[in-house]
Copies of this chain bind each other. A is one copy, B any other.
């Protein structure tokens, strides 16, 4: 048996404590699989005295994660503090400069600084791995980087924020409006300190931008993502979607098109009977499509101590075994700039609007769609007691550009009451 791999762990929240627990529970199993013992030599966190349910006895303590990252008795630095900048980034940079490998669960840091960090690490022949940053326990970074490496990737899709999926499925099952379920989720501690990270789609968007980089060999370009959260999804839309056989999911989609890389994180309708449509609660799902493999669906817990620590350990054991991969599956210097593309992949859309109750109102809307070259698949007008008539339209495939133009033109007809709701229907 060769020399132990010595870990320094910064951040002892849920995930960090989970990693400590795994290493204390299964040292022999892991040593047998890794081919060498894996030991924690030093740790760092905000408070030394907090009860984390695991003993830290025998580990050296550092108040400063940068010091931890550069210790001589640390071979592999594990960053589990979070935050795109600050101590997380400073300590990872220090670890790289000191010649350490790095494992991190930090999607925000990598989405914003991944290129720079990967280049620095690879220039020194060191690796940064981040399985835990995307979709919790699901080994999706590995599946995409390694398992599907023989494929030209044609589409990456994912429901990768458990909180949003919890809110959307709970709205449907309990028939509750967004605000009430949001408050429930907040009370249950499901939301980030800044809830916009969750419900604004930012957290899931960070994850998608990392997968897109691996899939298409492009530099991470989170800034070019078309980002829309779930804040404006109404119980009405959830009901109408269900009635037509769909469910609304905060769905990430990354596709390489003739015009560049299209990355969207936005609410979409998906068939209720599809694997994505059937996803309940906090579970995550990633769908990978390649020209040879067809469609691969991966499903599992997207958060939590055990699942996320399991992903951290996968990276740690890879490194212990001697597996050396580029951060994004090919040398960072070989990644191409990701030219952001407007949403150019056409799709059917769901439209809901309220029309003033005048003869010919519906005909005007239909005419606007026709003029924009958008044909109607299904249309429903509901009986109503209000002075406005609820109307639901499912279009055939169209582009976002054509749809936006049609919606602008609808506004000028004078028959709309309020703005129409438009949600993409993703074919899965």
Query: What residues make up the interface of A, taking CB atoms closer than 8 Å to B?
Result: 18, 22, 25-26, 29-30, 32-35, 131, 137-139, 142-143, 146-152, 217, 273, 275, 278, 290-301, 304, 306-307, 309-314, 316-318, 321-326, 329-331, 334
Contact = CB atoms under 8 A, between A and B. Distances in A.
B293 A32 contact: no
B299 A329 contact: no
A143 B142 contact: yes
Q: Which 3 residue pairs spanning A and B have beta carbons closest together?
A: A150-B313, A139-B147, A293-B310
Contact of A298 (B278, B297, B326, B334): B297
18 contacts: A22-B151, A22-B292, A25-B152, A30-B150, A32-B334, A143-B143, A146-B317, A146-B323, A147-B311, A149-B318, A150-B313, A150-B317, A151-B310, A292-B309, A295-B300, A296-B299, A297-B298, A322-B324
Given A217-B32, A299-B296, A309-B292, A139 B131 contact: no
A144 B298 CA distance: 13
A329 B147 contact: no
B18 A139 contact: no
Given A142-B147, A310-B150, A314-B150, A329 B296 contact: no
Contact of A330 (B33, B299, B313): B33
Nearest to A335: B32
**Interface majority SS on A: helix, strand, loop or mixed?**
mixed
Contact of A307 (B30, B142, B275, B292): B292
Contact of A32 (B22, B146, B316, B330): B330
Contacts of A323: 146, 322-323, 325
A309 B152 CA distance: 13
A137 B292 contact: yes
Contacts of A152: 25-26, 29
A290 B294 CA distance: 27
A313 B292 contact: yes
A132 B331 CA distance: 27
Contacts of A150: 22, 26, 30, 309-310, 312-314, 316-317
Contacts of A35: 326, 330-331
Nearest to A140: B147
Contacts of A313: 149-151, 292
Q: Which of A30, A310, A326 has the most CB of B within 10 A?
A: A310
Q: Which of A150, A300, A312 has the most CB of B within 10 A?
A: A150
B318 A292 contact: no
Given A148-B310, A294-B306, 6 more contacts: A33-B329, A33-B330, A137-B293, A275-B275, A293-B307, A294-B301
A299 B331 CA distance: 30
Contacts of A295: 300-301
A273 B279 CA distance: 11
A147 B314 contact: yes
A42 B277 CA distance: 46
A307 B329 contact: no
Nearest to A316: B150
Contact of A296 (B137, B275, B293): B137
A314 B149 contact: yes
Contact of A321 (B278, B312, B325): B325
B22 A314 contact: no
A295 B147 CA distance: 19
Given A139-B143, A299-B275, A149 B292 contact: no
Q: Which of A147, A149, A306, A318 has the most CB of B within 10 A?
A: A147
Q: Which of A146, A323, A324 has the most CB of B within 10 A?
A: A146
Contacts of A325: 321, 323
B330 A307 contact: no
A293 B321 contact: no
A166 B334 CA distance: 44
A77 to B, nearest CB: 18
B30 A317 contact: no
